[in-house]
Amino acid sequence: MNSQLSTETLDQKTQNKTAQVKEIDVVIAGAGFGGLCMAIQLREEDNDNFVLLEKKHDIGGTWRDNSYPGCACDVQSHMYSYSFAPKDDWSKRYAPWNEIQKYILDTADKYNIRPFCRFNQEVTSAVFDEESGRWTVKTTSGDVYLCRHFILASGPLHVPQIPKIKGLENFKGRVFHSAQWDHDYDLECKNVVSIGTGGSAIQYCPEIAPKVKKLHVFQRTPAWVLPRDDRKYLGVEKTAFKLIPGWRRLHRFRLYWTNESRVWPMFNPSVAKSLSQIAKAWIRFQVKDKALARKLTPDYTIGCKRILISNKYYPMFNRDNVELVTEGIKEVKENSIVTQDGQERPIDCIILGTGFVVDPRIYMKDFELKGLGGRELNNDWKDHTEAYYGTSITGYPNLWMLVGPNTGLGHNSIIFMIEAQVKYILNCMKAIEQRESDYMDVKPEAQEIYNVELQKLMKDTVWSSGCQSWYQQADGRNTTLWPKSTWKFWLETLNVKKNDYNFIRLANDQIGVDYSADAQAENTETADAATKKPARKKRTSKKSATEPSAV
Ligand SMILES: Cc1cc2nc3c(=O)[nH]c(=O)nc-3n(C[C@H](O)[C@H](O)[C@H](O)COP(=O)(O)OP(=O)(O)OC[C@H]3O[C@@H](n4cnc5c(N)ncnc54)[C@H](O)[C@@H]3O)c2cc1C
């Protein structure tokens, strides 16, 4: 009956009579590292009552999309992998993209996640209905899901940033973004422009430089690039990791603490300043031409923007066919690019290494996210984005974000943060059950206190030492990074601070719904019977309250 009621209500709201409405406990949007981790851990908790919606054709997120030459992780693979799904035979300390992507797909198969995935389904809206305590989640395919929990795992770096350059549309050569690499285009003997000197460009430029006729690297702001302590793992090491799990764990433990120690200069700008001197000497040592070395040397403190790592980037500028261009771009013509000083360079191809749209208010501007009382996230976030532990947002009950505001890292593995968040979300779900409530909503004052403290800490970090970076929003507020050690995030999210939340019990009991219908049935039909787990039993308590109440 509840199902019928909800469906009717939804139909009235959406005016979409043809949409297929499916009831399910949890909807996850995004099948990258975050969404996959959530899916696996739900299964581990015996909850198969979820669906994983992905706008593209496969699982993988960042590592499915980015396949440019030299694409690799900046965090060591034994650390940049799930703690619960170790891989003994990583080829190198920093694995390339395809090895990471294979790891993601293998892990998805190991936990039999594919039957729960719906590909080519972009979530376009999620609206909370306080009467039923459900989220109505709509996708581009026309499917509509009614769920108790909506997990937003849509990732922080998945929408390419395309710069506005005069005349770009008239260019007769090839243009592509690093995240949409055109592997069919042969760069051999071509005149190529690469725009941007961020994390992607410093990886692909040294790889393509030996192939192309001429590579013009357009730099607006130089990045600090430190050596990458990369090497292949020996066969004996891989065997040891396999046969002695404690050895592998010790290796990961060592990597974790080595990375963690790097956060110290971030919290102590004076230490970072001293390190800048060493990094400067490194540039001078790597780049033969002194004037060029100077152009490549940043004028801000190391760490203020993301530190990049490469052993190939600076030496690349010693090549005769590589030019560093620091003049701004005036315009692009049919077969050339013109800089502000009037110089015109003939070119065949433009590669946009211009990064990603990182502000969720921009990349989610068409995403309708409505919480209590019809409040809209776009409006609540109009000044700046903020959340509670990057996971809950006041006014949006049972909405859980992964890699939300202020959970990003400059020094360690985001997967560590994702795992902590997923554990926290599962604990929140349990807290709802334990309190016999229907949904929980972080209190505005708790979110406010949390963020005031966070921003206070941010003021003393190197990230606030005077540069402009993608970590910040227009008002200068750093809404990207976690300004403490990662173990503190883990510790602070280990238990749900229940006093920071309102727990709401619905007036009329909507909870006895048999979620095993619809999407649940779809999942279990396709899931491998051998690994299939029983659906979690739903609470069916009867309540007599007439108004929603905080419990
Ligand atoms: C080139 C590159 C290199 C990186 N290197 C590092 C590194 O070295 N170390 C590090 O810690 N991090 C790195 N990152 C950051 C990286 O994004 C994270 O480490 C991690 O992959 C984030 O996982 P995620 O699941 O949160 O997001 P993603 O991997 O971006 O996955 C999000 C998924 O959600 C899907 N999606 C988005 N919107 C919707 C929607 N509305 N409906 C349905 N599906 C949707 C996307 O298609 C995508 O599959 C790098 C990122 C890039 C782009």
How much distance in Å is there from the Cα of 346 to the middle of ligand 1?
Answer: 35
How much distance in Å is there from the Cα of 71 to the middle of ligand 1?
Answer: 14
Sign of CA dihedral 19, 116, 364, 479: positive
Are 473 and 405 in contact by the 8 Å Cβ rule? The answer is no
pLDDT at residue 514 in the model = 40
* Distances in whole angstroms, Cα of residue 310 to Cα of each of 179, 218, 315, 432: 19, 18, 10, 47
User: How many CB atoms are located within 10 Å of the residue 412 CB?
Assistant: 25
Question: DSSP string covering 285-300, please?
Answer: HH-S-HHHHHHTS-SS
Q: Within a 13 Å sphere around the CA of 444, how many CA atoms are in the beta-carbon half?
A: 3
How much distance in Å is there from the Cα of 210 to the middle of ligand 1?
Answer: 30
Cα–Cα distance, 380 to 47 (Å, whole number): 32
Cα–Cα distance, 501 to 136 (Å, whole number): 22
Are 256 and 412 in contact by the 8 Å Cβ rule? The answer is yes
* Distances in whole angstroms, Cα of residue 510 to Cα of each of 22, 116, 529: 16, 25, 30
How much distance in Å is there from the Cα of 437 to the middle of ligand 1?
Answer: 33
How much distance in Å is there from the Cα of 157 to the middle of ligand 1?
Answer: 5
pLDDT at residue 516 in the model = 40
Q: Which atom of ligand 1 is nearest to the CA of 178?
A: 1
What's the chain's Rg over C-alpha atoms? 25
Contacts of 449 (CB under 8 A, 6+ apart): none
pLDDT at residue 274 in the model = 85
pLDDT at residue 508 in the model = 63
Contacts of 178 (CB under 8 A, 6+ apart): 66, 68, 160, 200, 201, 204, 351, 352, 353, 354
Contacts of 296 (CB under 8 A, 6+ apart): 219, 222, 283, 287, 314, 317, 324
pTM of the model: 0.89
Q: Which two tokens stand for residue 473?
A: 């929003």
Q: How far is CA 414 from the centre of its chain?
A: 8
Q: Which atom of ligand 1 is nearest to the CA of 73?
A: 8
Q: 33: Cβ below 6 Å to ligand 1? A: yes
Q: Which atom of ligand 1 is nearest to the CA of 60?
A: 49
Q: Which domains does the chain have, with CATH numbers?
A: 17-158+358-550 (3.50.50.60), 168-223+268-352 (3.50.50.60)
How much distance in Å is there from the Cα of 21 to the middle of ligand 1?
Answer: 28
Q: 96: Cβ below 6 Å to ligand 1? A: no
- For a mutational test of ligand 1's pocket, the pick from 54, 64, 113, 154, i.e. the residue with the most ligand atoms closer than 8 A to its C-beta, is 154
Helices H / strands E in the chain, number of each: 17, 21
Q: 307: Cβ below 6 Å to ligand 1? A: no
Q: 481: Cβ below 6 Å to ligand 1? A: no
How much distance in Å is there from the Cα of 166 to the middle of ligand 1?
Answer: 30
State whether residue 312 is helix, strand or coil: coil
Cα–Cα distance, 272 to 279 (Å, whole number): 10
Q: Which two tokens stand for residue 384?
A: 């700046």
Residue (of 441, 428, 446) closest to 397 by Cα position: 441
Angle at 428 between CA 422 and CA 431, to 5 degrees: 145
Residue 53 has φ and ψ, to the nearest 5°, of: -95, 130
Residue 75 has φ and ψ, to the nearest 5°, of: -115, 140
Q: 403: Cβ below 6 Å to ligand 1? A: yes
- Strand segments (E) across 256-321: 308-309
Cα–Cα distance, 397 to 449 (Å, whole number): 19
- Flag residues of the chain having pLDDT under 70: 1-19, 508-551
> Measuring from atom 35 of ligand 1, which residue has the nearest CA?
30
